[in-house]
Structures are given as structure tokens and as C-alpha cells.
């Protein structure tokens, strides 16, 4: 293998797109990019309204702003970053929509509604993007023809987790900085160190290096263990969510490791490729449904006039 993941079969991430030579494709491309750009603007506006004293939320806000530019950049790496930012903020919005306002201190009750708007906006944009920009390109370093859906999904989840870890690490660091000896400092250090490890792994995964896959699995295992033991000190819904996504990344890497150890192609068949196209869309729909359901079950004054 010489340290590089060898491709074995080509499959798409979501359903196939119209031919690029057709007017239908060009029209679809323009409208989809406009929709994603608008979703970035709405998501950033929601987060700006929710900043309060926690300036660390500027991290997802800035990334949403950059995504409005990346979606127009015809490179696989840029398109993967857009999806990762949207996934991270979709999960964030879903958790906020159903979390108690007391979890977020001064944010107050309106944050649940903002979380719902964030979840629905970014979820709809993710479903609309489909396979946009993820097709193979001659100049791209990321051109797997084996486990394409698995590696793509794993990279998106790794970037999303890195964003979440950096967000909470920066927030804890901001709160702990004036206090000498605060217990938040080691928690912030662990969060930021894990985020840095995942960033290094993402760079290797994009270049299809085995060390990138190893780092990704190691980073996911560390994040899962520290979340489950509450070493990060994250609020309840965020800690358990990070543990689930980290465990999922470990599971995604297992068949790739098996193929590398066997040293020969693995017959993937039709079902894995179908799952790679369908499962992400189902997860987006599930998160959006969860956001609506938990928001409606929030305690507090009636949301509609009688």
C-alpha cells in the first residue's frame, strides 16, 4: 500500500445528479448555490443573535460565513467543508432546540426557537445539496474509488466534531482565563488538543493516507472516551452527542482497516452503496424532526396565541 489508501470501487454519496451538459443541471446548480448561500446567511444571523457574552460562538458563525464562499468553489475539499460546517451546526441547532435554557445561562428562552430555525434551515440546505461538487475531479487529492461514501461521511463527521470541540474548548478557555487554577483550563486544553488531532487526521484523510485514517480513529476513540467519562465537562446533551458521533466514526473506519489488512479488494455490492446515498439524508431528516418535536415539548408559556 505504501502508506496510501488504494481505491477499489466508485460510488456516489447521495443520488446521482443530472448530466452537467444539460440546461437542467446548470439551472439546478445556480439555484442550489443560492439556497446554500442564503442558508449560511440565516444561520450566521441566528448565531449572531445568540452570541451574548460567549464570544466563542463566533467560530461557527465565521465558518458559516466562509461556507457561503466555499459553496461556489469547485473543489471537493471546499464542498466537504461546507457539508461538515452544516452538519455541525445542524446538530448544534437540534440540541439547542430541545435543551433547557438554564443550560445556556444568559441566553434565555428564545434560544430554543433560534436552535429550531438553525436546524431546519441548514437541514433543508443539506438535503438540497445532494452530491453537488463531490464528483471526482482530475485535480483533486480526494479521489477514492473504494469506500467513497464511507470515507466522505467519515471526513464530514470528523470536521464537524473538530468544530464542536474547538467551540466548547474556546468557550471554556474564555470563561476560565480570568481564574487562576480553574478546573475549566484542563477541560479546555483537552477539547482543543483533541480538535487539533482531528484537524491533522482530516488533512491525512483528504490525501487518502493510512496515517490519516489511524489518527482519525484514534481521535474519535479519545473523544468518545473523554465524553463518556465527562472529562470534557460538557453539558449533558452535547457530551452524549459527541460520544455517539465519535463511536460512529470508529465504526466507519473498521471496514477500511479490514481491507488494508487483507491487502486485496473488498466486494462492496449494491447495498453499502445504497446506504451511503440514503443514510445521510435520513439522518438529516431525523435531526430536523427531532428539533421540531423537542421544541414543541419545551416547558414554558404557550407559543401561540389562543
pLDDT (0 to 100) of residue 181: 53
Q: Who's near 151: CB < 8 A, 6+ residues apart?
A: 5, 142, 144, 205, 208, 256
pLDDT (0 to 100) of residue 9: 35
Q: Where are the domains of the chain?
A: 16-139+280-296, 141-265
What grid cell was written down for 18?
443530472
pLDDT (0 to 100) of residue 253: 85
pTM value? 0.72
Phi, psi of 155, rounded to the nearest 5 degrees: -65, -45
| Domain 141-265, CATH number (from 2.60.120, 1.10.132, 1.10.260, 1.20.1260) | 1.20.1260
What tens-digit pLDDT sequence spans the chain (306 residues)? 445 554 433 333 333 344 455 677 677 778 888 888 999 999 888 887 765 545 666 788 888 889 888 888 877 778 888 888 898 888 888 888 876 544 443 334 577 888 889 999 999 988 888 766 666 554 555 666 667 777 878 888 888 888 888 888 888 887 766 665 567 788 888 999 999 999 999 888 888 788 888 999 999 999 999 999 988 888 777 788 888 889 988 988 888 888 778 775 555 444 445 555 677 788 888 888 988 888 887 654 444 433
What is the C-alpha to C-alpha distance for residues 291 and 68, in angstroms, rounded to an integer? 24
Q: Who's near 22: CB < 8 A, 6+ residues apart?
A: none
Could you please report the per-residue DSSP string of 179-217?
Answer: STT-THHHHHHHHHHHHHHHHHHHHHHHTTBHHHHHHHH
Of 189, 187, 211, 186, nearest in space to 200 by CA = 211
What grid cell was written down for 10?
466508485
Q: List beta partners, residue 4.
A: 209
Amino acid at each position: 500500500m505504501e502508506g496510501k489508501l488504494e481505491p477499489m470501487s466508485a460510488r456516489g454519496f447521495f443520488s446521482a445528479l443530472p448530466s452537467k451538459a444539460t440546461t437542467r443541471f446548470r439551472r439546478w446548480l445556480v439555484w442550489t448555490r443560492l439556497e446554500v448561500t442564503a442558508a449560511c446567511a440565516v444561520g450566521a444571523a441566528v448565531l449572531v443573535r445568540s452570541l451574548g457574552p460567549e464570544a466563542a460562538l463566533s467560530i461557527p458563525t465565521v465558518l458559516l460565513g466562509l461556507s457561503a464562499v466555499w459553496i461556489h468553489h469547485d473543489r471537493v475539499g471546499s464542498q466537504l467543508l461546507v457539508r461538515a460546517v452544516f452538519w455541525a451546526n445542524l446538530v448544534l441547532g437540534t440540541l439547542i432546540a430541545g435543551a433547557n435554557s438554564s443550560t445556556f445561562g444568559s441566553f434565555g428562552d428564545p434560544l430554543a426557537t433560534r436552535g429550531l430555525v438553525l436546524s431546519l434551515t441548514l437541514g433543508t440546505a443539506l438535503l438540497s445539496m445532494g452530491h453537488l461538487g463531490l464528483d471526482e475531479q482530475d485535480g483533486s487529492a480526494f479521489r477514492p474509488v473504494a469506500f467513497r461514501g464511507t470515507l466522505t461521511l467519515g471526513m464530514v463527521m470528523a470536521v464537524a466534531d473538530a468544530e464542536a470541540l474547538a467551540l466548547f474548548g474556546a468557550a471554556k478557555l474564555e470563561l476560565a482565563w480570568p481564574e487562576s487554577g480553574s478546573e475549566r483550563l484542563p477541560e479546555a486544553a483537552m477539547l482543543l488538543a483533541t480538535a487539533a488531532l482531528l484537524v491533522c487526521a482530516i488533512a491525512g484523510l483528504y490525501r487518502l493516507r493510512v496515517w490519516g485514517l489511524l489518527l482519525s480513529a484514534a481521535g474519535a476513540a479519545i473523544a468518545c472516551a473523554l465524553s463518556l467519562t465527562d472529562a470534557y465537562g460538557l453539558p449533558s446533551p452535547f457530551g452524549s452527542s459527541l460520544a455517539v458521533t465519535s463511536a460512529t466514526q470508529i465504526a466507519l473506519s473498521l471496514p477500511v482497516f479490514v481491507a488494508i489488512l487483507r491487502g486485496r479488494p473488498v466486494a462492496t455490492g449494491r447495498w453499502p452503496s445504497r446506504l451511503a446515498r440514503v443514510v445521510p439524508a435520513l439522518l438529516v431528516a431525523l435531526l430536523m424532526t427531532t428539533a421540531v418535536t423537542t421544541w414543541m415539548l419545551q416547558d414554558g408559556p404557550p407559543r401561540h396565541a389562543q
